[in-house]
Chains A and B, each alone.
Chain A
């Protein structure tokens, strides 16, 4: 028991066992969405209850936890979830990607490559990649059973016919180990290649939709595409204005009402680490303090 009067990491042992059994099945069947008896959590559905349940089920006293939202450790919901585990499990927390053994994330995969000693836990709102093409669970379940993903290809192809591009920029569907088509959670497609052959275990929790799924380490994860329209990630014209990083995902910061913009790393730990190493972006000296510190919340 921790000081809160709740069990270690909040969940009771029976709930943890149920979630753990689902996680093991998810690992054995990569990309398949395992139904689980998701519990009501003390934070709202849609705010990371699936990720929180997965983290609570795998977390041990020796783990070091990092929580990010939009790539940042300091966004309010990341702060709230991190505090929840500090209170209920008393575990050590960190903002440094390299120090963490478990990283819970919403919408990003860290820029720093992950290692075999880490587990990445994704918060997932809608785990079913076919949901917006076919709203019925009975039907999508059948399509997964038959590995019938024609619907998804038709949708992507219609994009090309209409826009000249595949118009999906985040939650871009992937095929896992040549079998299941999976929703990578609403990460930008920029992060999709990081999922492929990743040394870390990737676990996905969808609390409201009551599904858990997994990508084991070193698993083939392919973004769906066409020969004449190969998958491509977002590119940015300029490097990070603070740390000068190229090939990272950037947030666009509006500076004024006259079109003033700056582009900075979405991954705040990556940005701070690079600045600590002496990398300097074009606007490092002039950017507002709230931006250089990675935080931008006020009461």
Chain B
């Protein structure tokens, strides 16, 4: 009485319909628009762009809507779309020194050229639920906005760099190849360019936890926030047929330069360095200081080998950090445990039954010990 019912196929189709209806929710309420998400849930959109590795506000907003607000699911949607896009080349490095700054703070210098700009931040808000938002209308007072200066605003760490007390970044070599973690599988030990790419798309929560662990002594790096800046930078591209850079548009970025203590000595390559501060770097799409700061702290701890520092903490272990910080990979593998494992479970069950039979047939250890003692 074989019946050719394909239960799985039907179940999947029905589950998809149910999901679509759950996503829409109560149809007596207006549907949320993608534009509303882009405008009013902008930091969620920023995170999806950053960890999805694709700067496109409207696609990220669509992904959030489609995923019912599950940001990791939205990141996954964006990644799966991104991977199908043709690649025309790499842009010129962006110059954050020429950023149109909306916010800039330094914890190391009271005053500095270009000034401190508080900008849009939760930092000094009192975390009191604002019931007025819930009431009809959500009118906000027009903020006073100064005109952004077109002047370059030098980065703090470069200012102090004059004295040679802060580690200098190696001079950029325009011909040096830059790794691409989406095109070449990681090979350990990794170079810093690859590490920064992995961290830039790494899970905010995972990196936050790791960064926190370094502050609590698991690979301490004595950090100071040299500078955090947020704003828009221009992206330029050199088409092969033109031979000169053309602007492609602007992206909003958060950059964090962490300044860390280091007493000087021998680097891993044998190079001797005078006492100086070292650096950790964070750069993410959109406004996310938490992510940029975490990235900078973890970047610095992952340089432990370079500075011949003792390596004992999780945040100093590049295989551990880089292999586990991607939330699309992590969520897939954790959640795959939902898939049927009947066959493996049956194999374990069979072995366990055999072991249990043998255990029950054998004399109990206590009896055995008594017998041995008696002998």
Contact = CB atoms under 8 A, between A and B. Distances in A.
A–B direct contact (CB < 8 Å): yes
B7 A6 contact: no
Interface string A3-20: 000100010100000000
Given A44-B76, A298-B7, A37 B185 contact: yes
Interface stretch (A23-31, A111-119, A144-152, A185-193): A185-193
Contact of A40 (B2, B83, B187, B346): B83
A35 B340 contact: no
Contacts of A78: 8
Interface in A71-107: 71, 74-80, 83, 106-107
A74 B9 CA distance: 7
Contact of B82 (A40, A136, A285): A40
A139 to B, nearest CB: 9
A135 B320 CA distance: 9
A6 B84 contact: yes
Nearest to B7: A295
Interface stretch (B40-48, B58-66, B242-250, B331-339): B331-339
Interface string A179-214: 000000011111000000000000000001010000
A253 to B, nearest CB: 9
7 contacts: A37-B182, A37-B184, A137-B188, A169-B350, A284-B1, A290-B5, A298-B11
Contact of B2 (A164, A165, A293): A293
A296 B14 CA distance: 15
Given A137-B188, A251-B342, A47 B332 contact: yes
A40 B328 contact: yes
Contacts of A293: 2-5, 7
Interface stretch (B105-113, B143-151, B165-173, B351-359): B351-359
Contact of A292 (B1, B183, B339): B1
Q: How large is the interface on A (under 10, 10 to 19, 20 to 34, 35 or more residues)?
A: 35 or more
A297 B350 contact: no
A183 B10 CA distance: 34
A163 B8 contact: no
Nearest to B1: A292
Contacts of B79: 40
Q: How large is the interface on B (under 10, 10 to 19, 20 to 34, 35 or more residues)?
A: 35 or more
A231 interface: no
B351 A79 contact: no
Most buried by A among B5, B329, B340, B343: B343
Interface pairs A-B: 3 shortest CB-CB: A295-B7, A45-B332, A46-B336
A249 interface: yes
Q: Which of B341, B347, B358 has the most CB of A within 10 A?
A: B347
A69 interface: yes
Contact of B347 (A10, A83, A190): A190
Contact of B346 (A39, A75, A251, A285): A251
B373 interface: no
A158 interface: no
A44 B336 contact: yes
Given A45-B332, A74-B6, A210 B185 contact: yes
A255 interface: no
* Residue among B328, B344, B355 with max Cβ neighbours from chain A (10 Å): B344
A295 B10 CA distance: 11
Contact of A35 (B83, B185, B342, B350): B185
A41 B84 CA distance: 9
B9 A45 contact: no
B331 to A, nearest CB: 7
Nearest to A74: B8
Interface string A52-69: 000000000000000001
Contact of B355 (A10, A39, A163, A296): A163
Contacts of A41: 80, 83
Given A40-B80, A47-B336, A80 B12 contact: yes
A36 interface: yes
A209 B6 CA distance: 32
Contacts of B1: 284-285, 289, 292
Contacts of A6: 84
A208 B335 CA distance: 13
Contacts of B340: 69-70, 75-77
B185 A83 contact: no
Contacts of A284: 1
A266 interface: yes
Contacts of A167: 351, 355
Contact of B343 (A42, A80, A170, A290): A170
Given A46-B333, A252-B349, A275-B2, A295 B80 contact: no
A137 B190 CA distance: 12
